[in-house]
C-alpha cells in the first residue's frame, strides 16, 4: 500500500478514475506541482491546437531559468545565461508534447533578474472527460520575493507561518495523460480581478486631470507586469507593438496628446533598460509621464 501513490502510478492510472475525481494527498501534490510550472512562468492562455511557438518559447525560457538555472551556460556579460535549442525542445516536449516548429536562434540569451513575486498553483477540482483527458480547475497564488510558503498548504497554514500569500487568479485547463506523464492541452488563466463575476473591467483615471477616458485595468495590469525578460523575447515589431499599447493607455488618460506625442521608434531608442527594468515604467520615464497614477489605478482595482 505504501507504494500505491508513486509518480508512475499517478500518471499511468488516472484514466481509470471516474468523474468527478477524488484525489489522494500525494496525487493532489503532483498536480499542484504540475500546474505551478505554468503559474510561475506567467503562461499565457491558449486553446487546443493554437499554442504558438512564441508562447512555448516564453514558457521554456522562464521554466529553465527558474528550475534549471545551474544547467544554463553563463553569458559573457556576466548578467545573463544561455539556453540551447535542445534544452528548449526538451521543456516543451515534456509539458506540451510538441517542439517549437521554427526556432529563430540556436541559443537564447536570458537576462538575469531577481526580486520577482513567487507564484504557484493548487488544483481545486479534476474531472474525467474520457479518452485520457481531464478538465482541471484551480487557484493561482502569489507571494512577495523571498517568501517561502508551503505550496501545498492552506491559508490558515500560511497565516500561522507568517507568510503573506494572496490569490492572484484562477485557471482552467485540459490535460491529457500520455503513458507516465501529462501534457497541457488547453490553459486559461484569469487574474483575481477578472475572475470575479460581473466585474467592472474598466477604471476611471486616478485624478481629475485624467478625466478624458477610461483605462482597461486588465490590459494595464498585464502591460505593467512586462519586464526586461519579456522584452528580450520580442522581436523589433513585437517591441514596437508593446510600446504602441502603452501609448494607447497614455492617450486614454490624456497623458499623451497631439502636442506631446512621441514617435514609437523614438520612444524605444530613448528608453533606458537595466537588468531588472520594468517596461511600462521605463517607457514612462522616457516620455516624461508619471507612472505612479497608473499603479494607483491597479491598486484601487484590487
pLDDT computed for residue 93 by the predictor: 96
Contact at 8 Å (CB) between 240 and 265?
yes
Contact at 8 Å (CB) between 292 and 252?
no
Per-domain residue ranges of the chain: 1-195, 202-301
DSSP state of 106: S
DSSP state of 7: H
pLDDT computed for residue 1 by the predictor: 37
Contacts of 148 (CB under 8 A, 6+ apart): 163
- The Cβ of residue 134 has, within 10 Å, a number of other Cβ atoms equal to 23
C-alpha cell at 44: 499565457
Residues in the chain where the model's pLDDT stays below 50: 1-19, 193-213
pLDDT computed for residue 284 by the predictor: 94
Q: Tens of pLDDT along 168-201? A: 889 999 999 988 789 999 999 987 544 343 334 4
- The Cβ of residue 63 has, within 10 Å, a number of other Cβ atoms equal to 22
- The Cβ of residue 175 has, within 10 Å, a number of other Cβ atoms equal to 24
How distant is the alpha carbon of residue 99 from its chain centre? 20
Beta strands in 47-164 (DSSP E): 73-74, 80-84, 107-111, 118-130, 133-143
pLDDT computed for residue 194 by the predictor: 40
pLDDT computed for residue 212 by the predictor: 34
Contact at 8 Å (CB) between 162 and 154?
no
Amino acid at each position: 500500500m505504501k507504494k500505491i501513490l508513486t509518480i508512475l502510478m499517478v500518471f499511468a492510472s488516472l484514466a481509470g478514475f471516474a468523474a468527478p475525481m477524488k484525489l489522494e494527498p500525494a496525487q493532489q501534490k503532483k498536480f499542484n506541482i504540475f500546474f505551478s510550472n505554468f503559474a510561475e512562468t506567467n503562461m499565457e492562455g491558449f486553446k487546443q491546437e493554437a499554442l504558438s511557438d512564441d508562447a512555448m518559447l516564453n514558457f521554456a525560457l522562464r521554466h529553465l531559468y527558474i528550475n534549471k538555472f545551474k544547467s544554463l551556460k553563463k553569458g559573457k556579460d556576466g548578467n545573463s545565461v544561455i539556453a540551447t535549442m535542445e534544452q528548449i525542445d526538451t521543456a516543451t516536449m515534456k509539458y506540451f508534447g510538441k517542439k517549437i516548429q521554427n526556432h529563430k536562434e540556436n541559443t537564447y540569451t536570458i537576462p538575469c533578474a531577481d526580486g520577482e513575486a513567487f507564484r504557484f498553483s493548487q488544483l481545486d477540482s479534476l474531472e474525467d472527460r474520457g479518452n485520457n483527458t481531464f478538465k482541471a480547475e484551480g487557484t493561482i497564488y502569489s507571494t512577495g520575493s523571498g517568501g517561502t510558503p508551503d505550496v501545498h498548504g492552506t491559508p490558515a497554514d500560511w497565516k500561522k507561518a507568517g507568510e503573506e500569500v494572496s490569490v492572484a487568479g484562477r485557471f482552467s485547463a485540459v490535460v491529457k495523460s500520455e503513458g507516465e506523464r501529462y501534457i497541457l492541452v488547453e490553459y486559461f488563466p484569469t487574474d483575481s480581478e477578472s475572475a470575479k463575476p460581473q466585474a467592472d473591467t474598466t477604471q476611471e483615471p486616478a485624478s481629475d486631470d485624467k478625466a478624458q477616458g477610461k483605462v482597461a485595468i486588465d490590459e494595464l495590469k498585464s502591460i505593467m507586469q512586462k519586464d526586461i525578460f519579456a522584452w528580450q523575447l520580442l522581436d523589433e515589431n513585437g517591441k514596437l507593438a508593446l510600446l504602441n499599447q502603452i501609448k494607447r493607455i497614455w492617450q486614454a488618460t490624456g497623458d499623451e496628446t497631439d502636442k506631446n506625442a512621441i514617435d514609437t521608434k523614438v520612444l524605444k531608442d530613448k528608453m533606458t533598460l537595466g537588468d531588472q527594468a520594468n517596461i511600462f515604467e521605463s517607457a514612462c520615464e522616457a516620455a516624461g509621464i508619471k507612472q505612479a497614477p497608473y499603479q494607483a489605478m491597479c491598486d484601487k482595482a484590487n
